[in-house]
Amino acid sequence: MTETLLVTITGPDRPGVTTRLLGALAPSGFPVLDIEQVVIRGHLVLGLLLSVDDASADARSQAVAAVSAAATELGVQCDVQPGNVEVGSRHPDRLLVTVMGQPLCPAGLTAVAGAIAERGGNIDRIVRVASYPVTALELEVSGADHDDLRQALARVASDSGVDLSVQHPGLTRRGSRLVVMDVDSTLIQDEVIELIAAHADCQEAVAEVTTRAMAGEIDFAESLHERVALLAGVPVEALDAVRQKVRLTPGARTLCRTLHHLGFRVALVSGGFHEVVDAIAAELGVENVRANRLEVVDGILTGRTLGPVVDRAAKAAALEEFAAMYQIPLARTVAIGDGANDLDMLARAGLGIAFNAKPVVRDQADTAVNVPYLDSVLFLLGIPREEIESAEPCPVESDD
Ligand SMILES: [Mg+2]
């Protein structure tokens, strides 16, 4: 055990406060074991842990007197507490818990903190990573088991309406990663097949099958054949009109641009169609697309698809293929989706994110995002708001 002094300073912040306080302690020569400082609304909170092993009682009192005098002069509060710590005793099982809400209220945070404490976890540190358009906090937690805490927090998330993720910190969160996204109702707000169906006057029939397929009630491949058959006779020009109608999910551009800016790889894996998805990918600078193809004969949709169907299994296989192509380990992959056909891909990825997902998907994914902004996924990846803004070409986006 090492003998320590814990110095806590609180009060109005201004340039030079930290320098002056540390300067007052400099003559003591006491080693700094830890220091954390935060400024909220101009109010400073500074915690400083000094080792005082081998220091005489006189030297300690002199240091306390010096820092107290400096604090008085600066008009801030100073509290000094003696104690002991085991140096280097950081808990081996550290976890990062990201909490997001719009707004984030004390009740939600209480539920999160309560669940962590009940599982023997301690919150060592809280850092705000975003204040707009959602409030996002990153909690460093020690002493809790990953799976146990993830399950407990999944319940908190569904009860309290905050979005939560639990991840292992460290290397898997750093360096280049691969992000694979579903398209319909994830990257875009629409289901493309329903937009095409509007041109065949069979929108309701198609929508009904889509809903059952996305909820996992019927096999995806079978549902796709059934729905595409209803599109027989639609002229191929209708696809141009559909491409114009597609609405990106708010935050989609910011997400793609920031990921590219940070050197991440991005791919779209869709149960929809190349004929529409390729244009969306090009607009967002996404190079890789895996989707179905519609058969066209004499300028008319035949009601059949070409080649293998991109179903639930094919989506997971595509994730693995793209990861292998970029030599990115699966632990460093992120999959985002909303439907039952995304489940295998979400399970296979290092981090599977259910985005405004159907209940069956939300219950099984690593983490669920329920705020309607796709770029809030960035906060789960530990990318703070400031870095996102630094990737933006102009201060505010018009369409996100
Ligand atoms: Mg979808």
Q: What is the DSSP string of 215-259?
A: TTSS-HHHHHHHHHHTTTT-BTTHHHHHHHH--BPTTHHHHHHHH
Q: How far apart are CA 279 and CA 158, in angstroms?
A: 36
- The mean pLDDT of 42-52, rounded to a whole number, is 94
pTM for the full predicted model: 0.83
Cα of 322 to ligand 1 centre, how many Å?
Answer: 19
Residue 179 is encoded by which pair of tokens? Answer: 């992000």
Q: How confident is the model at residue 292 (pLDDT cuts 50, 70, 90)?
A: very high
Q: Are residues 146 and 292 in the same domain?
A: no
Q: How far apart are CA 53 and CA 316, in angstroms?
A: 56
Cα of 34 to ligand 1 centre, how many Å?
Answer: 46
Q: Are residues 334 and 185 in the same domain?
A: yes
Q: How confident is the model at residue 396 (pLDDT cuts 50, 70, 90)?
A: very low
Among 35, 51, 85, residue at a domain's last position: 85
Percent with pLDDT over 70 in the chain:
96
Q: Rounded to 5 degrees, what angle do the CA atoms 331, 134, 141 make?
A: 50
**Structural domains counted in the chain:** 3
| Peptide bond just before 235 cis, omega within 30 deg | no
Residue 60 is encoded by which pair of tokens? Answer: 């300690």
CA trace torsion 15, 16, 22, 23 (10° rounding): 180
Which candidate in 13, 53, 79, 182 is catalytic? 182
Residue 197 domain flag: no
Cα of 338 to ligand 1 centre, how many Å?
Answer: 5
Residue 153 domain flag: yes
Residue 236 domain flag: no
DSSP 182: -
Cα of 184 to ligand 1 centre, how many Å?
Answer: 4
Q: Are residues 302 and 183 in the same domain?
A: yes
Could you tell me if 31 and 95 are in contact, meaning their C-beta atoms sit under 8 angstroms apart? no
Residue 314 is encoded by which pair of tokens? Answer: 């094919």
Q: Are residues 306 and 378 in the same domain?
A: yes
Q: Are residues 185 and 333 in the same domain?
A: yes
Q: Are residues 259 and 358 in the same domain?
A: yes
Residue 212 domain flag: no
Which candidate in 53, 58, 79, 184 is catalytic? 184
* Top mean-pLDDT range of 48-57, 84-93, 311-320: 311-320
Cα of 192 to ligand 1 centre, how many Å?
Answer: 10
Residue 201 domain flag: no
pLDDT tens-digit map of 65-111: 999 999 999 999 999 999 998 876 556 678 999 999 988 989 989 99
Q: What is the CATH number of the domain that holds 269?
A: 3.40.50.1000
pLDDT tens-digit map of 318-363: 999 999 999 999 989 999 999 999 999 999 998 999 999 888 888 8
pLDDT tens-digit map of 58-75: 999 999 999 999 999 999
Cα of 96 to ligand 1 centre, how many Å?
Answer: 28
Q: Are residues 75 and 49 in the same domain?
A: yes
Q: Are residues 109 and 71 in the same domain?
A: no
- The mean pLDDT of 358-379, rounded to a whole number, is 87
Q: Are residues 304 and 184 in the same domain?
A: yes
- The mean pLDDT of 120-143, rounded to a whole number, is 91
What pLDDT score does 399 carry?
47
What are the DSSP calls for 69-128, one per residue? HHHHHHT-EEEEEEEEE-TT---S-EEEEEEEESS--HHHHHHHHHHHHHTT-EEEEEEE
Cα of 119 to ligand 1 centre, how many Å?
Answer: 34
**Block residue for tokens 């405004």:** 356
Cα of 183 to ligand 1 centre, how many Å?
Answer: 6
Residue 54 pLDDT more than 50?
A: yes
Let me know if 184 is a catalytic residue. yes
What are the DSSP calls for 290-356, one per residue? EEEEEEEETTEEEEEEESS---HHHHHHHHHHHHHHTT--GGGEEEEE-SGGGHHHHHHSSEEEEES
Residue 187 pLDDT more than 60?
A: yes
Residue 396 domain flag: no
Let me know if 124 is a catalytic residue. no
What pLDDT score does 393 carry?
67
What pLDDT score does 398 carry?
44
What pLDDT score does 90 carry?
58
Cα of 224 to ligand 1 centre, how many Å?
Answer: 13
Q: Are residues 74 and 13 in the same domain?
A: yes
Cα of 292 to ligand 1 centre, how many Å?
Answer: 14
Q: Are residues 353 and 280 in the same domain?
A: yes
Q: Are residues 262 and 350 in the same domain?
A: yes
Cα of 127 to ligand 1 centre, how many Å?
Answer: 32
Helix axis angle for 203-214 and 220-229, nearest 10°, is 170
Among 138, 169, 200, residue at a domain's last position: 169
Among 44, 68, 85, residue at a domain's last position: 85
Dihedral pair phi/psi, residue 340, rounded to 5°: -60, -30
**Block residue for tokens 């996992």:** 216
Residue 266 pLDDT more than 70?
A: yes
Q: What is the CATH number of the domain that holds 67?
A: 3.30.70.260
| Ligand 1 ion: nearby residues, β-carbon < 5 Å | 182, 184-186, 338-339
What pLDDT score does 176 carry?
77
Residue 281 domain flag: yes
Residue range of the domain that includes 313: 178-190+247-390
Could you tell me if 281 and 289 are in contact, meaning their C-beta atoms sit under 8 angstroms apart? yes
Nearest to 114 by CA among 172, 162, 63, 45: 162
